[in-house]
């Protein structure tokens, strides 16, 4: 019972109406898991999950004990489960197979997936870890080595599909072959106190990606990877990201949106209290030309930049090289974006980059007390602006002013 104390704490934090006597634990070792990091424990995990998911009374708990390392091959934990809430408590380490050949006859996009499990709580006392062992995937990535036979799709470490009323807390995720956590088609998701790490050179290793989900809250999390710390995709709304440490990586991105000319709907995105360290981007919005739809009502507030290459960037020409830089008539309409109380240093002299569509301007872009005056070398910074309707208040440095469609690049650099 002492090992289950974190579960009891979670009950208190989430106000689940379950008495201690109603807790029922299903330990993966009781179902044959060796926990030596060598034996394949996938079947034991599948059996423990089946027992957990079919338990109707009380709060069923799938328990993964500490001081053990469990080798788990690709697996899907499917619902719906009989209980209204299901807890998976991870105290040990789950490790993925280290050879991509393991995925030869299965879905290469996933390692561990939870599907259609409402009321899921995935938690730990702080020692639970998912180790994707992605180095062999990275070596054959098309992004690093675009040769014939390279890999463009690698597994996501943990994927949540159609999981409503989901809570993920107090876990470590390291070295995923590709994205570490994917949240898709899920509503009312609460993520807190995670630590997500991978080398800065690891390709496409986003920390958390959100797609087609609403009411998602991410807080008190440390992320340093080879791609976006957090990326917010299409068909998302009411996303709150706060108290995040990001770096290394590509920053926090809304997008990319609209690839292939799709219709985009993104709104009510709030990002606040983020510290960016040595990232390629800070607060980024990126959309493809040729798309339609909107991305609106977004805010980036109380942000700190430390040696960030592009602290504030809107790029409506993302992927333009693939289209030979051809100007297209359609674009995602970006509007009502607020940057407030953002400060720090840039790695280059362009601290603010508003690269909006030639044909569909960015509108209602608000700057309120933004101060990124110098680079990390001490050089003065500038703002770049193309077809953005900007308003400012408070102290703004570098100056950011409304701008018209680009004619010459020098016309749009504001000293």
* Antiparallel, parallel or unpaired: β 156-161 and 214-224: unpaired
Residue 145 has which token pair? 């080595």
Which residue carries 């280290």 as its tokens? 98
Are 289 and 327 within 8 A, CB to CB?
yes
Q: How far is CA 380 from the centre of its chain?
A: 32
Q: Give the number of other Cβ atoms within 10 Å of residue 243's Cβ.
A: 16
Q: Is 389 a catalytic residue?
A: no
Which 8-state DSSP code applies to residue 81? -
The tally of CA atoms less than 13 A away on the side-chain side of residue 264 is: 30
At 241, list the tokens: 């990201």
Q: What is the DSSP letter of 324?
A: T
Relative to beta strand 214-224, strand 187-192 is parallel
Single out the catalytic residue among 15, 180, 209, 250. 250
Question: Which has the closest alpha carbon to 340: 291, 376, 288, 303?
Answer: 303
| Helix, coil or strand: residue 158 | strand
Q: Which residues are known catalytic residues?
A: 250
């Amino acid at each position: 019972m002492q090992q289950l104390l974190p579960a009891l704490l979670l009950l208190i934090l989430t106000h689940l109406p379950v008495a201690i006597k109603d807790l029922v634990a299903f330990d993966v070792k009781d179902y044959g898991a060796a926990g030596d990091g060598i034996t394949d424990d996938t079947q034991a995990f599948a059996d423990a999950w089946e027992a957990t998911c079919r338990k109707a009374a009380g709060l069923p708990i799938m328990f993964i004990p500490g001081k053990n390392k469990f080798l788990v091959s690709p697996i899907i934990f499917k619902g719906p489960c009989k209980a209204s809430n299901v807890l998976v408590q991870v105290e040990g380490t789950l490790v993925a197979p280290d050879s991509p050949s393991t995925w030869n006859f299965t879905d290469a996009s996933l390692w561990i997936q939870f599907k259609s499990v409402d009321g899921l709580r995935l938690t730990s006392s702080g020692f639970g870890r998912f180790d994707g062992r992605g180095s062999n995937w990275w070596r054959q990535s098309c992004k690093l080595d675009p040769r014939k036979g390279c890999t463009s799709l690698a597994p996501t470490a943990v994927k949540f599909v159609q999981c409503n009323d989901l809570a993920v807390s107090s876990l470590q995720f390291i070295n995923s072959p590709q994205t570490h956590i994917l949240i898709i088609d899920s509503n009312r998701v609460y993520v807190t106190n995670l630590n997500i790490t991978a080398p800065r050179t690891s390709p496409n290793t986003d920390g958390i990606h959100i797609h087609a989900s609403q009411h998602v809250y991410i807080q008190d999390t440390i992320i340093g990877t080879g791609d976006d710390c957090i990326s917010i995709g299409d068909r998302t709304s009411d996303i709150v990201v706060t108290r995040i440490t990001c770096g290394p990586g590509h920053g926090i991105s809304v997008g990319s949106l609209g690839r292939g000319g799709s219709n985009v709907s993104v709104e009510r995105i709030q990002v606040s209290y983020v510290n960016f360290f040595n990232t390629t981007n800070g607060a980024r919005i990126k959309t493809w030309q040729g798309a339609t739809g909107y991305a609106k009502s977004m805010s980036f507030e109380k942000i700190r930049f430390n040696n960030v290459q592009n602290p504030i960037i809107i790029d409506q020409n993302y992927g333009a090289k693939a289209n030979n830089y051809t100007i297209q008539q359609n674009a995602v309409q970006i509007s009502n974006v607020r940057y407030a109380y953002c400060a720090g240093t840039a790695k280059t002299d362009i601290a603010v980059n508003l690269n909006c569509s030639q044909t569909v301007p960015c509108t209602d872009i608000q700057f309120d007390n933004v101060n990124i005056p110098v680079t990390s070398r001490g050089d003065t910074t500038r703002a770049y602006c193309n077809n953005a309707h900007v308003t400012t208040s408070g102290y703004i440095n570098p100056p950011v002013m409304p701008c018209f469609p680009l004619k010459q690049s020098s016309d749009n650099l504001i000293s």
